[in-house]
Amino acid sequence: MTFLERMIGAAKLDPRVYEEVEADRTATPQALAVVVLAAVAGGIGVGEGIRGLVFGTVAGLVGWAIWAGLIYFIGTRWLPESGTRSDVGELLRTIGFANSPGILRVLGIVPALGAIVFIVTAVWTLVAVVIAVRQALDYRSTGRAIGVCLIGWLVQVAILVLIGVIVRR
C-alpha cells in the first residue's frame, strides 16, 4: 500500500490500515510525515504565518511523541487486555496515521469554513486515534481504547499546561 493509500485508509477509519502500519517498522517516517503535514495544514488553515507554522509543527511533533508514550504506558501497564502486545513504535505509527484527517484543516483558510473544519477534523481525528490505539494495543474492546485515550488525553493536557507555565516564567 502506498503512503497516500495508507493516509486515505486511515482517514476512512479502516482497521486493516492501522494493522498494516503497526506491523511495518519502516512506516515510522511516514507517520511522522502525516503529523507534520497535518500540523502545517492546520497552521495554514488558521493563517498564523511562518512563526505559527513552526510552533504548530513543533507542538504537533512533541504532542505526538508524548501521546504515544502515554498511551503505551497506560494501555500496556494500567489497562492491558490478555492479548495486549505493543511497543512505542507501533503506537507512534498508528497514532501518526490517525492524524490524516487533520490535513483537511487547510480548508480552514476559507472564512466561512474555519470553525466547522476544525471541529469536524478534531472529532474525526479523535475517532481515528481510538481505532489506532485499539489496533496497536490488540484490544478487542473499543471501550477500553476510549478509556485509555481519555486518561492519556487528561495526563497530556496536564503535562502541556505544566510546560506552558514553566516556559512562560
Q: How many domains does the chain have?
A: 1
| All three cell numbers of 127 | 475517532
**Quick check: pTM over 0.95?**
no
Q: Is the dihedral of CA 18, 63, 56, 117 positive or negative?
A: positive
User: Can you give the pLDDT at residue 10?
Assistant: 98
Q: Which residues of the chain are modeled with pLDDT < 50?
A: none
DSSP one-letter code for 100: G
CA angle 52, 57, 63 (to 5 degrees): 120
CB-CB contact of 130 with 142 (8 Å): yes
User: Can you give the pLDDT at residue 157?
Assistant: 84
pLDDT in tens, 119-163: 999 999 999 999 999 999 999 999 999 999 999 989 988 887 898
Query: What is the C-alpha separation between 133 and 113, in angstroms, rounded?
Result: 30
Torsion region of 85: left, alpha or beta (phi above 0 gives left; psi -120 to 50 gives alpha)? beta
Alpha helices in the chain (DSSP H): 3-11, 15-23, 28-46, 49-73, 88-98, 114-136, 142-168
User: Can you give the pLDDT at residue 51?
Assistant: 86
Its domain, for residue 44, covers 3-168
